[in-house]
Chain A
Amino acid sequence: MITLRAYRLGLRRVYQAQRYVYVVYAINLLIALALGIILSQDIQNSLGHSLSAEHLRQGFDDLWYKSFSSNASGIAKSFHPGVTGIGAIFSGLDGMLRGDFSMTQGMFGVAFLYWLLWIYLSAGFIGMFYNGSFDNVFGTHFFAEAGRFFLRFLMLAVFAAAFYALIIYGVLPLLSKWITAMNRNTIDERIVFKHTVIKYGVIWTLIFFVNLVFDYSKVIIIAEDVKKEDILRSPLLALKFIAQSPLKAALLYLLSGLTGFVLLLFYWLIAPGAWQASWFTIIFAFLLGQIYIIGRIAVRCLFYGGETALYYLETALPQGDLRRLPESVNK
Chain B
Amino acid sequence: MLPKFCKFFWGLLFISVAFSQSSRPQNAPSFPDSIAKLSAGLLPDVRGDSIANYEMEVTLDPAEKRVRGKMRLSWTNATQFPATELQFHLYYNAWRNNKSSYFNSVRYRDFDLSDFGEDDWSYCDIQSMKILSNDYFIAEDVVSNLEFIQPDDGNSFDRTVARVPLRRSVFPGETIELEITWEIKVPRPVSRTGAIGDYFFLAQWFPKIGVFENNGLWNCHQFTQTEFYADFGTYDVRITIPSGWKIGATGREISRNDYPDSTTMHRFFQKTVHDFVWVASPVFSEFTQRFEEPGLPPVDMRLLLQPYNLDKRERYFQSAKTSLKYYGTWCGAYPYGHITIIDPAYQSESGGMEYPTLFTGGSHWLSPAASRQPESVTIHEAGHQFWYGLIANNEFEHAWLDEGFNSYTQYRIFRQHFPRWPLTVRYLENLVPVVFSDVYISGRTDGADIYDGFRTNIKRDPMATPSWQYGPKAYRVDSYVKPSLMLQTLENYLGWPIFQKILSTYFERWQFRHPTPRDFFAIVNEVSGQDMDWFIRDAYRGSNVYDYAVGKVISKPEATLKGFSEPQGELVYQSPDDADADDLPPQIQAEVYIRRWGEAVFPIDIKMTFENGEEVLEHWDGQARWTMFNYRRAAYLQKVEVDPTHKLVLDVNYTNNSWTRHPAKVVASWKWTTKWMIWLQNMVDLFAFFS
A interface vs B, CB < 8 Å?
28-29, 31-33, 35-36, 39-41, 43-44, 46-54, 56-57, 59-60, 62-64, 66-70, 78-79, 81-98, 103-104, 107, 110-112, 114-116, 118-119, 122, 157, 160-161, 164, 183-190, 192-193, 196-197, 200, 211, 273-279, 282-283, 285-286, 289-290, 292-293, 296-297, 300
Taking a contact as CB atoms under 8 Å apart, the answer to whether B429 and A70 are in contact is no
Is B375 in the interface zone, CB < 8 Å from A? no
CB-CB under 8 A for A47 and B434, given A59-B439, A63-B449, A66-B449: no
Q: Are A273 and B437 in contact (CB under 8 A)?
A: yes
Shortest Cβ distance from residue A115 to the other chain B in the assembled complex, whole angstroms: 4
Tell me, in angstroms, the Cα distance from A29 to B681 when the chains sit together.
Answer: 7
Tell me whether A56 and B672 are in contact (CB under 8 A).
Answer: yes
B residues with CB within 8 A of A: 115, 196-199, 281, 283, 306-308, 345-348, 364-366, 423, 425, 427-429, 431, 434, 436-442, 446-447, 449-455, 550, 553, 639, 641, 653-661, 663-691
**Can you identify 21 A-B contacts, CB atoms within 8 angstroms?**
A35-B677, A44-B669, A47-B663, A49-B660, A49-B661, A53-B660, A53-B664, A56-B664, A57-B671, A81-B436, A82-B436, A98-B428, A114-B685, A114-B688, A115-B690, A118-B688, A188-B306, A189-B308, A193-B365, A193-B431, A274-B438
Supposing A81-B436, A187-B197 touch, asked if A63 and B450 sit within 8 A by C-beta, the answer is yes
Contact (Cβ within 8 A) A31 B684: yes
- B368–chain A nearest beta-carbon distance, Å: 15
Q: How far is the CB of B111 from chain A (nearest CB, A)?
A: 17
The residues of B that contact A116 with a CB separation of less than 8 Å are 691
The answer to whether B660 touches A114, judged by C-beta atoms less than 8 angstroms apart, is no
Contact B680 A282 (CB under 8 A): no
CB-nearest residue of chain A relative to B671? A282
Q: Which residues of A contact B656 (CB under 8 A)?
A: 48, 50
- Quote the shortest CB–CB distance from B347 to chain A (angstroms): 6
* A53 → B minimal CB distance (Å): 4
B548 to chain A, nearest CB (A): 13
Q: Are B655 and A36 in contact (CB under 8 A)?
A: no
Given pairs A292-B678, A300-B689, 7 additional interface contacts (CB within 8 A) = A33-B677, A40-B670, A50-B659, A66-B442, A82-B423, A83-B678, A104-B683
- CB–CB A200/B428 < 8 A: yes
Across the two chains, which residue of chain B brings its CB closest to A81? B439
Q: Which 8 interchain pairs have the tightest Cβ spacing?
A: A187-B345, A289-B678, A118-B691, A92-B683, A51-B658, A43-B669, A88-B679, A56-B668
* Chain B residues within 8 Å of A161, by CB: 690
Contact of A285 among B657, B674, B685 (CB under 8 A): B674
Given known A43-B673, A187-B346, A282-B670, contact A28–B685 (CB-CB < 8 A): yes
Q: Given A32-B680, A90-B434, A293-B678 in contact, is the A114-B668 Cβ separation under 8 Å?
A: no
CB of B691 within 8 A of CB of A119, answer: yes
Known: A36-B677, A200-B428. A47 touches B655 (CB 8 A): yes
Give the residue of B442, B666, B689 whose beta carbon is less than 8 angstroms from that of A211.
B689
CB of A164 within 8 A of CB of B690, answer yes
A46→B676 contact, CB < 8 A: no
State whether B663 touches A48 (Cβ < 8 A): yes
Instruction: Tell whether A28 pairs with B684 under 8 Å between CB atoms, given A40-B673, A289-B678.
Output: yes
Provide the bound-state CA to CA distance between A64 and B654, in Å.
7
Are A110 and B676 closer than 8 Å at their CB atoms? no
A57 touching B664, Cβ below 8 Å:
yes
Q: B684 near A97 (CB under 8 angstroms)? A: no
Closest A residue by C-beta to B437: A273
Task: State in angstroms the CA–CA spacing of A103 and B690 once bound together.
Answer: 17
Question: How far apart are the CA atoms of A187 and B344 in the complex, in Å?
Answer: 9
CA distance A41 to B670 in the complex (A): 9
Please state if A111 and B668 are interface contacts (CB–CB under 8 Å): no
A212 to B675 Cα, complex, angstroms: 32
A79: which B residues are within 8 A, CB to CB? 672, 676
Q: Closest A residue to B456 by CB, please name it.
A: A70
- For residue B679, which residues in chain A have a CB less than 8 angstroms away from its CB? 83, 87-89, 91-92
How far, in angstroms, from A59 to B348 measured CA to CA in the complex? 38
Q: Contacts A28-B681, A50-B660, A59-B440 given: A81-B423 contact, CB under 8 Å?
A: yes
Among B348, B364, B654, find the residue whose CB has the most chain A CB atoms closer than 10 A: B654
- Name the contact of B659 in the complex, choosing from A49, A87, A296 (C-beta under 8 A): A49
The answer to whether B663 and A53 touch across the interface, beta carbons within 8 angstroms, is yes
Q: Residues of A contacting B348 with CB < 8 Å?
A: 187
CB-CB under 8 A from A31, the residues of chain B are 680-681, 684
* Most chain A beta-carbon contacts within 10 A, residue among B427, B654, B664: B664
A276 CA to B671 CA, complexed, in Å:
7
Q: Contact between A50 and B655 (Cβ–Cβ < 8 Å)? A: yes
Instruction: Tell me, in angstroms, the Cα distance from A189 to B344 when the chains sit together.
Output: 11
Minimum C-beta distance from A34 to chain B (A):
10
Which of chain B's residues has its CB closest to A164's CB? B690
Bound state CA distance, A104 and B674, in angstroms?
Answer: 17
Chain A residues positioned under 8 Å from B666 (CB to CB): 44
B441 close to A282 (CB less than 8 A): no
- Contacting A274 at CB < 8 Å: which of B364, B436, B451, B689? B436
Bound together, the chains give a CA A85 to CA B674 distance in angstroms of 11
Q: How far is the CA of A6 from the CA of B440 in the complex (A)?
A: 47
- Evaluate contact between A66 and B452: CB separation under 8 angstroms: yes
For residue B653, which residue of chain A has the nearest CB?
Answer: A67
| C-alpha spacing A273/B675, complex, angstroms | 9
User: How many angstroms from the CA of A91 to the CA of B196 in the assembled complex?
Assistant: 33
The smallest beta-carbon distance between B477 and chain A, in angstroms, is 13
* A87 near B683: Cβ-Cβ < 8 Å: no
Q: With A50-B659, A53-B663, A87-B434 known to touch, is A62 a contact of B197 (CB < 8 Å)?
A: no
B676 neighbours in A (Cβ, 8 Å): 36, 39, 78-79, 83, 88
